[in-house]
Amino acid sequence: MCLLGFVNAAKAQNNSLELSKYISLTEKMTEQVFTIEVVGDVVQFSLRVNCDLQLGEVILEVFDPAGKPQGKFSVQASNSETYQSRGKLERNIDHPSTGTWLVKVVAKKAKGNVYIRSQQEFEK
Amino acid sequence: MIKPKFAFILILWVCCAVPRLLKADSITPSNKGGLSGNILLDSNWNRVVYLSFIPTMNDRFTMSHSFIIDEAEMDSLGNFRFNAKYWPIEDALYRIHIVKREDPVASLIIGGREENFYLFVANRQDSLFLDGSAGFARAVIKGSESNGLLLQMKGWVDFADSSTFAGTPIKRELIENAISEKLRQVADTIEYPLVALMALYYTDFKSNQKLNSQYYQDFWKGGRMKIQRISSFFELKLKVKTKRILLFGFTSLPLFLLYL
């Protein structure tokens, strides 16, 4: 497992909490699970998973706190760094299950970036 | 030295057969067959529609350059057309997508207001029309019963999805079970094997395989899964070559008969 440029960011504003993770994929990376804690009286939960890929293949999957899959996509590069492949998954959920949401990233000889951004809006 | 008779036949064959052979290879737009459509797009999107051949059900949400088999430019009114001449004879799964101006060609957006793809089932004989005049998000494919069923099933799944986090856990479970039951009924009764297979995929059959084991056993025994649901693109190329050889035979035969 090898990650470069792994960045976490959190921003709280009025009634919302924004969390983001930026992952730079290297060819040595295989599998990694990222967690997002959804706590309190959340009215809406937005999750966006973006992947830009120059080489290899990446599978990204989202699971709710009950372990149920909530979205999956994969991106395959053309094996030419000239042509990039991109995948985006967007989920907007009203009154989400509280607990730990997971984003599983499975990479195969991949070179690229994954950007995970979540936003929780709380009861006013 | 070539005899005059043979030279005459050779010239005649070249004049008759070659244009037909060239025509067989070229994909010229026609008013019949394939997928045509009309999409209303704002200036954030490129005016090109990409067509992908989806090799397996698991690849529905995979974006890869290698899946893209064709592209069509939209005219000023948003009209486009894909010709079906090289599509498989049997039903197969396809996906069209559009891309935003700053995005690479191989871009897939799943969910949200900017979802950029549409999955559909088609075969070489189909003549389909994608009506996206109310925007790509509301696009509907017309001209095929199987795609109407797919759209209906997607509506059920989306409903189950949206109700997942609403109401009590028991209510959620009841809704999910009712929709899965409906999908299994569709899979059991419709005459389109690929759509039947998709209905089963929508039921999340992996997780409820044990619960409905008898149903799946009957489904397999019924022979509905024996279909060669999707042939590879390599096979597709072979078919085009076969067609060319047949064309050669058909165009040459009358000339030889004439000569004899």
DSSP summary character for residue B203: T
Q: Flag if B64 and A92 touch (Cβ within 8 Å).
A: no
Q: Which helix (H) or strand (E) holds B220?
A: helix B213-221
User: How does residue B165 score in pLDDT terms, banded at 50, 70 and 90?
Assistant: low
Degrees, nearest 5: CA angle A65-A69-A73: 130
Q: Give how far B145 is from chain A: nearest CA, Å.
A: 28
Give the closest of B65, B110, B115 to A85, CB-based: B65
β-pairing verdict for B106-110 and B92-97 = unpaired
Query: What are the beta bridge partners of residue A74?
Result: A59, B62
* Mean confidence (pLDDT) of chain A: 88
**Which residue of chain A has the CA closest to B204?**
A69
Q: Give how far B254 is from chain A: nearest CA, Å.
A: 47
User: How does residue B133 score in pLDDT terms, banded at 50, 70 and 90?
Assistant: very high
pTM score of the predicted model: 0.75
Task: Give ipTM to 2 decimals.
Answer: 0.84
Q: B51, B28, B65: which is closest to B119 by C-alpha?
A: B51
Query: What are the beta bridge partners of residue A13?
Result: A16
pLDDT at B48: 97
Chain B residues near residue A88 by CB distance under 8 angstroms: 107-110
Q: Quick check: A102 pLDDT over 50?
A: yes
DSSP summary character for residue A39: -
Q: Which helix (H) or strand (E) holds B110?
A: strand B106-110
* pLDDT single digits (tens) A50-92: 999 999 999 999 999 988 888 899 999 987 667 789 999 998 8
> For residues A94 and B92, what is the distance between their CA atoms, to the nearest angstrom?
36
Q: B124, B107, B134, B129: which is closest to B46 by C-alpha?
A: B107
